[in-house]
Amino acid sequence: MNKEKQHKQPWLKLYSIVLIANAIYFIMFYLIMQAF
Amino acid sequence: MQILSLIDWVVLSATLLAIVVYGTWQTRGSKNVQDYLKGGNTSKWWTIGLSVMATQASAITFLSTPGQAFNDGMGFVQFYFGLPIAMVVICMVFIPLYHRLNVYTAYEFLENRFDLKTRTLTAILFLIQRGLAAGITIFAPAIILSVVLGWDLLTLNIIIGVLVIIYTVSGGTRAVNVTQKHQMVVIFIGMLIAFFLIVDKLPQDITFSKALSIAGVSGKMEILDFSFDLNNRYTFWSGIIGGTFLMLSYFGTDQSQVQRYLSGKSVKEMQLGLIFNGLLKVPMQFFILLVGVMVFVFYQFNEAPMNFNPTATELVLDSEFSEEYINLQKEQQALFNDKQELIKSFITSENTEVSKHIALANKSNDSLRDKARELIDKASENQSKKVESNDKDYVFIHFILNNLPRGLIGLLLAVILSAAMSSTSSELNALGSTTTIDLYKRNTSEKTEEHMVKASKWFTFAWGIIAIGVACIANLAENLIQLVNIIGSIFYGNVLGIFLLAFFFKFVKGHAVFIAAIITQFIVFALYFLDLYQHINLPFLWLNFVGCAIVIATACTLQLITKNDTTITT
């Protein structure tokens, strides 16, 4: 059990950044699509 | 047919040779296996990121994607929406495990988790699939370039293959990484210059925003599709759900990608490299598609050929359908003249009525192009000559050869060949590593480091020769590219399922997985042949999903039934 806990990977800020960036891309694509 | 000028030859040869010579010289003399197959674990995150991107982006990416946007608009970008999610999962689950077990290949991990036979089976499935794919990575751009430039196909296959073999065999993983960094720089610079030149070639009163408006009225700016229509291949949902699984299997279990990040200096560098890919991939694909859309706008003001494949045009004009084809060309020219008036009016007023007429004119143009394709197919059938009527892959190269200035044509050809070489080198590197580590080393007695490096080099060389061989006979097959995709789909789902079982189904042991994998492979083959002989309707792309689901379900069931598995797992 302890071994399992040791191996558990922490959530890095970078993961949030890449997912938020992806969401921003979607919003931008949506706005571009609406504009043209 | 335009022949390259001296300056184009100089730019093309100098760019390619400089990358090959520098890569070979910089990375020569690997002394041990870790150095040769993992690049001595010295790669920084930006090298990993660029290398991962270069491996995925083959020459077809730069030839086909702009043509895809030219025909169908920007919707293809949705295919990559799952990639950033897959990158996060791989950073959290795959990388720490691979690193902790200090593996050279993804399949080595399977022995640790299951047993030797599961590892060997999965490695062999990878070798069959990737060995064929490496040949096609060389053949696909070579056939297009040979058609438009009149170069000899066989010579081109051999040149691309030999250049890749030189540095991949000599320097191993480090050479692949070093050259891919430079190849990506050439690719980025070439595509940026091409983009600005296309925009610059538009009429003076057409701003970038007006160009996008013209593309928009013809439906080319429909980037997102939120429908749940299964017949529509690229939707937001298929990108997010299907794309995540596809990218997870490609980046997490395909050795040609796994080997890129395993060369990282630390877990942190590997994770940063993949996050870099997750951040840049979607905008990069968006940009390549935008280049295609700009080519579409360019041909709103400049006459386009009825079909961009010159061989197809020659064939139909030399057949009994030539008169019909010439009539279609005349109709297209009249349509083009009418459209000029409409576009002028749209630019000054942006009137919605006018925009509808432009859209209609472009639809009529598409239908003329469809009719032309039908004529080409008929001519091809009657003359028993194989010719590609779908000209998607020829749009961008036609534009490059006929509209870009001298010197830049050479640079853009260097972009296409660099992309071909970068993906092929990763494939050969991975094929050599898997053969050495998973088959040779695992099944022979202890050998010296020097011997293993030599063996790795010979295996990489052998796979290079096989890839050139496949590329050279590819033209003989009816549709070999499709055949390779089918073979990929037959094996890929099974392999992904085995890895998902390893990661997420802790209670399942090796024996159950091995039996399940064999059963699944037979079922997938059976499903494929049932579809082939029209007993069922299951397009081959679905075999990925079906194979994955069957191996997981079968392994879990077998494990639950047998329970007493004696296989040793660590």
* ipTM score: 0.87
| pLDDT for the residue B463 | 95
Q: Between chains, do A12 and B271 touch, taking CB under 8 Å as contact?
A: yes
Distance of alpha carbon B303 from alpha carbon B292, whole angstroms:
16
Report pLDDT for B234: 81
> Which chain B residues are closer than 8 Å to A15 by Cβ?
88, 91-92, 275
Contacts of B266 (CB under 8 A, 6+ apart): none
What pLDDT does residue A16 have? 93
Q: How far is B271 from chain A (nearest CA, A)?
A: 9
Among B81, B224, B283, the residue with its CB nearest the CB of A33 is B224
Yes or no: say if B61 and B140 are a contact pair by the CB < 8 Å rule.
no
The secondary structure element, H or E, covering residue B270 is: helix B267-301
Chain B neighbors of A14, CB-CB under 8 A: 91, 271-272, 275
- State how far residue B87 is from chain A, nearest Cα, in angstroms: 9
Q: Are B474 and B530 in contact (CB under 8 A)?
A: no
| Rounded CA separation B509/B499 (Å) | 12
- Residue B191: Cβ within 10 Å count: 18
User: What is the greatest pairwise CA distance in chain A?
Assistant: 56
Q: What contacts B227, CB < 8 A, 6 or more positions away?
A: B235
Tell me the per-residue pLDDT of B82-119, one tens digit each, with 9 for 90 and over.
Answer: 899 999 999 998 999 899 888 999 999 999 889 899 99
C-beta neighbour count of B121 within 10 angstroms: 21
* pLDDT for the residue numbered B477: 61
| Whole-number pLDDT of residue B2 | 53
CB contact under 8 A, A36 and B215: yes
CA dist B39 and B245 (Å) reads: 29
Distance CA B522, CA B519 (A): 5
Q: Among all residues of chain A, which has the CA nearest to that of B236?
A: A26
Set of chain A residues whose Cβ sits within 8 Å of the Cβ of B272 = 14
3-state secondary structure of B94: helix
* Chain A residues close to B81, C-beta within 8 Å: 22, 26
Across the interface, of A7, A9, A18, the residue whose CB is closest to B84 is: A18
Residues of chain B with pLDDT under 70: 1-2, 230-231, 476-484, 541, 564-570
- Give the predicted TM-score (pTM) of the model: 0.87
Q: How confident is the model at residue B480, as a pLDDT?
A: 56
Residues with Cβ < 8 Å from B332, sequence gap 6 or more?
B306, B365, B368
Query: Is B6-300+398-562 a domain of CATH 3.40.640.10?
Result: no
Under an 8 A CB cutoff, do B278 and A26 touch?
Answer: no
| Longest CA pairwise span in chain B (Å) | 79
Question: B223 and A30 in contact by Cβ < 8 A?
Answer: yes
Nearest CA to B528 out of B491, B569, B567, B570 is that of B491
pLDDT of residue B291: 94
Strand partners, B264: B43
Confidence of residue A4 (pLDDT cuts 50, 70, 90): very low
- Please count the residue pairs, one from chain A and one from chain B, whose beta carbons lie less than 8 angstroms apart: 61
Which pLDDT belongs to residue B292? 94
